[in-house]
Amino acid sequence: MKVAVIRTGVANLASVMAGLRRAGATPELTDDPAAVAAAPAAFLPGVGAFGAGMAGLRSAAIDRVLVDRIAAHRPVMAICLGLQMLARASEESAGVDGLGVFDATVTRFRGDVRIPQFGWNRVAPTADSALVQPGYAYFANAFKLDALPEGWAGAMGDHGGPFVAAVERGPVLACQFHPELSGDWGQALLRRWLEVSAC
């Protein structure tokens, strides 16, 4: 399956491309909004700051394409910063608007925990989750969503308190963790998303 991997300028794309190939996809790197709109599936990676990521999407005019794809229930997967950019705003970059798919503000971890969170953590899906299964995933984040958006299934993690590990609805999946770095469990999740996206 062809997957348009969005070039945001703030992502480590080599591991994403390799992970998608291992899962059986044909990833194609692009910053062309027409290609993202036309692709059978789109993938939004992200490592870095919220403001820089949003600037990259807006400069390439991909921001509205993504919002339209999600609104139409067309296959999209977002990971790490990609999940956070689906929110309305983030404490990381005051005054910068996110994509607004979720009416929520991304917040920084607080309390007596290591910040950023680096390493493996448990992922606990909600009862109505179709794609995410219980397991352990690799995280690298200082910011997070605090609660699942209304109308979405997903999964939670815990790092000094509960946070959103994944959000899903049909063929739209957003993960705070890195499935491409999460071993066999992550590869199985990528394959399930590709299977749902091909339907």
Q: pLDDT tens, 4-57? A: 999 987 667 899 999 999 999 999 999 999 999 999 999 999 888 999 999 999
Cβ contact 105:93 at 8 Å: no
Active-site residue (options: 159, 178, 195, 199): 178
For the chain, give every domain's residue range.
2-197
pLDDT digits 0-9 by tens, 109-135: 999 999 999 999 999 999 999 999 999
pLDDT band at 154 (very low <50, low <70, confident <90, very high): very high
Backbone angles phi, psi at 122, to 5 degrees: -75, 140
pLDDT of residue 10: 67
Are 135 and 101 in contact by the 8 Å Cβ rule? The answer is no
Assess whether 175 carries a catalytic annotation: no
Q: Residues of the chain with pLDDT > 70: what percent?
A: 99
Rg (CA), the chain: 15
Catalytic option among 92, 159, 168, 180: 180
Catalytic residue status for 195: no
Average pLDDT rounded to a whole number, residues 82-87: 98
What whole-number percentage of the chain has pLDDT above 90?
94
Phi-psi region of 24 (alpha: psi -120 to 50; beta: other; left: phi over 0): left
Q: Would you place residue 91 in the very low, low, confident or very high pLDDT band (cuts 50, 70, 90)?
A: very high
pLDDT score of 160 more than 90: yes
Name the region of 63 (left: φ>0; alpha: ψ -120 to 50; beta: rest).
alpha
Whole-number pLDDT of residue 48: 85
Candidates 28, 80, 91, 168; catalytic one: 80
CA–CA gap between residue 189 and residue 192 (Å, rounded):
5
CB 82 within 8 A of CB 46: yes
Signed CA dihedral, 125, 128, 149, 192: sign only: positive
Given pLDDT bands bounded at 50, 70 and 90, which one contains residue 183? very high
- Respond yes or no: is residue 80 known to be catalytic: yes
User: Encoding tokens for residue 66?
Assistant: 């993504």
Task: Read off the tokens for 108.
Answer: 């920084």
Which structure tokens are listed for 156?
């939670």
The yes or no reply on domain 2-197 and CATH 3.90.1150.10 is no
DSSP string, 65-110: HHHHHHHTT--EEEETHHHHTTEEEETTSTT-----SEEEEEEE--
Region of 83 please: left (phi>0), alpha (psi -120 to 50) or beta.
Answer: alpha
Higher pLDDT among residues 191 and 10, named by residue: 191
Q: Mean pLDDT for the chain?
A: 96
